Chains A and B, each alone.
Chain A
Amino acid sequence: MIMPSIQSICHWLQHLEWAQAFRESSLLFPFVEGSHILALSISVGLVFVLDLRLLRLAFRGERVSAIMKQSARFSLFGFAVMFATGIVLFAAQAEKAYNNRFFLAKMVFLAGAGINAAWYQKKYFPNMEDWDTAARTPVGARVCAIVSLICWAAVIGCGRTMAYEF
């Protein structure tokens, strides 16, 4: 059996009837694209609030766990909208996106942000009460906050720049 290449799957996706209609829609496409960007701004903005606390650049007197619990809770809504709209936007331009180096870089940084968040959850979340109100955040947790800020800034940058290469 011959396995179809990713390129051919992307070609098939992009040429589906609904994908073409969606791409050419003068209202729906901008609406979904705008929702994607604003949902990203909400969720990343809430993650930014947590990163500020981890780096002790703000909310120094507050417990990290209290900010984390709330930021994670509310950012989930934004991430859900961001992923749902992102998948639809990708399907509509799958072949173009697959051949776009900034899209591929965006996916790498997105994966990086996800792995970084998972690492934080595994390594620092379970013993958070040990340093919840401490004057110093563990170095590793601060590194996670810096990696998070870099990855999300790169996701935004690559997402913006990929449109210029379409």
Chain B
Amino acid sequence: MSLRELVAAFYAWCYHSPALSILRDTKLGVPAVQTVHLIGITIVLGTAVTMNLRYLNLGYRDLDARSFLSSLWTWFRRGLLLTVVAGFVVFLPDPARYVENTSFRVKMAVLTVAILYQFTVFRRATRSIPTSGRTPKMIAIAAITLMLWFGVGWCGRAIAFIG
């Protein structure tokens, strides 16, 4: 059995699984899980925006950068975990529908880059923050980080409109 056939069999199994079918066919099942997904996204975007405001010395300047960012990282990770887990639960009842959707594919690609960038470049950059001002490099890093996370959000919304 090729990998492609294996994946197709998994999708078919998900689609016909009694538990996932109930979730898919119950009127409020999918919106309920999507709500949890959106709450996760809200935590991710809220903490990401706050981290970048502090990183760029644009906001929360009265707060100690190291401890403030450390707490934000904790909640960012929790939000991301909630988003990804709930996202999987939305995906699994009808995986074939999602993987055929161009916006979903782009979303997954942007999400992968966003996670990698956040946990490598951005994490390293926020280890030492100047007491005031911002350099062009810092602005570029913050802009890329926010563009990536908001890009994930836009692609997620586009799934319903651009297949």
A residues lining the B interface (CB < 8 Å):
26, 30, 33-34, 37-38, 40-42, 44-49, 52, 58-59, 61-63, 66-67, 70-71, 73-74, 152-153, 156-157, 160-161, 163-164
Contacts and interface: CB of A to CB of B under 8 A. Distances in A.
Given A66-B63, A160-B34, A45 B150 contact: no
The prevalent SS among residues of B at the interface is: helix
A41 B154 CA distance: 12
B49 A37 contact: no
Contact size range, B: 35 or more
B153 A58 contact: no
A41 B46 CA distance: 7
A70 B75 contact: no
The prevalent SS among residues of A at the interface is: helix
A156 B39 contact: yes
Interface of B: 27-28, 30-32, 34-35, 38-39, 41-47, 49-50, 53, 59-60, 62-64, 67-68, 71-72, 74-75, 150, 153-154, 157-158, 160-162
B93 to A, nearest CB: 14
B73 to A, nearest CB: 10
Contact of B31 (A38, A52, A74, A161): A161
A58 B75 contact: yes
B59 A153 contact: no
Contacts of B41: 41
A72 B75 CA distance: 19
B154 A34 contact: yes
A45 B45 contact: yes
B62 A66 contact: yes
Most buried by B among A47, A66, A157, A164: A157
